[in-house]
Amino acid sequence: MLREFVELPAFTRLIQEGMLTDEELGELQQDIIRKRGRIDRVPGVSGLLKMRWRNPRRERGTRGGYRVFFVDFEDLGITVLVYLMDKDEQDDLTPAERHRFAQIIRGLRKELG
């Protein structure tokens, strides 16, 4: 099954600011499809997944890399890229971010069925 990737504006803005190149974004998408790396559910935000992903510009592996937040609607073939966080800049989502993303995900579920 083909996979469609949809980016939320917050994710797109980070890409435009240079966090990832187009090539790196393609690699990230392939890693999500292949479920490479550690993927965990984010507590308190139903459906939000977090994947550790290496920062291709550093030699530190996944621990010093990025945290990629996404929602996977596998039955529909849609993955929504929600947010991208540099582990060196922020350890985890803030309570306000969790709340905001939970609201967004509820809205997505309504729209997608």
Distance CA 19, CA 45 (A): 24
* pLDDT at site 63: 62
How would you list the strands of the sheet with 66-73, edge to edge? 4-7, 78-86, 66-73, 49-53, 39-41
DSSP 46-73: TT-EEEEE--TTSSSTTTTSEEEEEEEE
The answer to whether the beta carbons of residues 80 and 108 sit under 8 Å apart is: yes
**Structural domains in the chain plus CATH codes:** 4-112 (3.30.2310.20)
- Chunk the chain into consecutive blocks of 10 residues (it has 113) and report each block's average pLDDT, rounded to whole numbers: 90 94 95 87 93 77 80 92 90 92 93 81
